[in-house]
Structures are given as C-alpha cells and as structure tokens.
Amino acid sequence: MTDGKAVSIVLRKPKKEVISRKIDLKQFPVQWGLDPGRRDLFVAINNYEDKLSCSTREFYEDGRYKKRNQKIKHWYDNREDILEATRNMPTKKTASLVLVIGAIKILMD
C-alpha cells in the first residue's frame, strides 16, 4: 500500500570516447567467435571450424552447485545454531537506514 507519491530519478552515464585501433590478425593464429545463449551457456567456433559449447546444465554440474546446495541444506536441517545465525544476520538490502548502518558496521568489523 502506498500513499500515492512517487519519485523518479534519471541518471545518465557520461559517454566514453571510443578508441579504435587496427588489429593484425597474423599475430593471432586462431580467432574465436563466442555466442552466448539461453539453452547453451555459450557456443564458440574458431576459424578452423572447431566448435565448443557448454550447456547451462553442464556448467552447474561442473561447478558442483547442486552438491553445494545439498550440503548447505544439510547444515540448515541439522544445525539449529547455523540456521538461527543466518536468519538473524543483518542485510544491507533494506529500506531502513538503521538496519543498513548495522549491516555495514558488521561488515567493517
């Protein structure tokens, strides 16, 4: 529920000067083209038509994200003190200035 008031702030980044330079392709025997995607994290191909790709599933599996999340869940389920500490940890993602200052003080210690 709001009081019907709103504020808009328009921020503009200063434009950077574009510096172009010539690249000698003979210095680089292999050139790669990279295409980020949705199903595949990326697909890359070089001038010899060698293709590399990494699916999002493969990325998370190689990074062991699923195992790490299972381990953290195990900690939360079996250690009440860890769960309590994470629940009571102050965050800087709040609208309250007092809570932001408290979070910054803990980060600075």
d(CA 20, CA 23): 9
pLDDT, position 2: 62
Domain boundaries, the chain: 28-63, 65-109
φ/ψ (deg, to 5) at 36: -70, 145
Half-sphere exposure of 28 (CA within 13 A, CB side): 9
Tokens representing 67? 């195992």
Question: For the whole model, what pTM was predicted?
Answer: 0.46
Tokens representing 93? 């993602």
Over residues 5-29, the pLDDT tens digits come to 777 888 888 888 888 888 888 888 8
How many Cβ atoms sit within 10 Å of the Cβ of residue 76? 13
